């Protein structure tokens, strides 16, 4: 494996075939790609702090949306999916502390984020996308009014 992390381009193999989730995944990859770009410019210290804040904020937003969709539609694998999300956030917190203490690197963080996000999308989120595809209303899910359009 190379020491320098590389950007991730959105490709069809990352699609879960649910536009809302795909759009949020594209944004999550954009945050990751910002980290990679910053590391290539050697802006490590300032960038790690900025990107960590963005990662925590955006994962909270995105994972919250996925959780609401799973809850609203009665997704059978909700607890395992939630556990994966919680494990990712816990690992980010641990890596953030480790980097601050000089025991880890932003490059290692980037490798972890890339691996986790792409792996999670291709397996757990694709399974969720298959479950949701025929259940979501054609105009999408209204997070402000989640009971609208829920097909039991």
Residues 18-64: tens digit of each pLDDT: 888 999 999 999 999 988 888 888 766 776 788 888 989 999 999 99
16-133: which CATH topology?
1.20.120
Nearest Cα residue to 66 out of 51, 48, 80, 78: 78
- Please tell me the predicted confidence (pLDDT) of residue 139: 61
State pTM to two decimals: 0.85
Residue 53 tokens read as: 């804040």
Burial of 134 (0-12, 13-18, 19+ CB in 10 A): exposed
> Taking a C-beta distance cutoff of 8 angstroms, is the pair 32, 113 a contact?
yes
Question: Sign of dihedral through CA atoms 139, 145, 149, 151?
Answer: positive
Domain boundaries, the chain: 16-133
């Amino acid at each position: 494996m190379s020491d320098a992390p590389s950007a991730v381009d959105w490709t069809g193999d990352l699609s879960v075939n649910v536009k809302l989730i795909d759009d949020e995944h594209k944004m999550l990859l954009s945050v990751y790609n910002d980290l990679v770009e910053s590391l290539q410019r050697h802006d490590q210290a300032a960038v790690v702090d900025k990107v960590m804040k963005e990662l925590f904020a955006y994962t909270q937003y995105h994972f919250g949306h996925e959780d609401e969709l799973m809850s609203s539609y009665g997704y059978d694998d909700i607890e395992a999916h939630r556990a994966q999300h919680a494990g990712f956030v816990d690992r980010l917190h641990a890596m953030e502390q480790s980097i601050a203490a000089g025991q880890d690197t932003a490059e290692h963080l980037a490798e972890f984020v890339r691996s986790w996000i792409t792996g999670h999308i291709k397996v757990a989120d694709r399974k969720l996308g298959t479950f949701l595809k025929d259940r979501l209303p054609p105009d999408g899910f209204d997070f402000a009014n989640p009971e609208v359009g829920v097909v039991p």
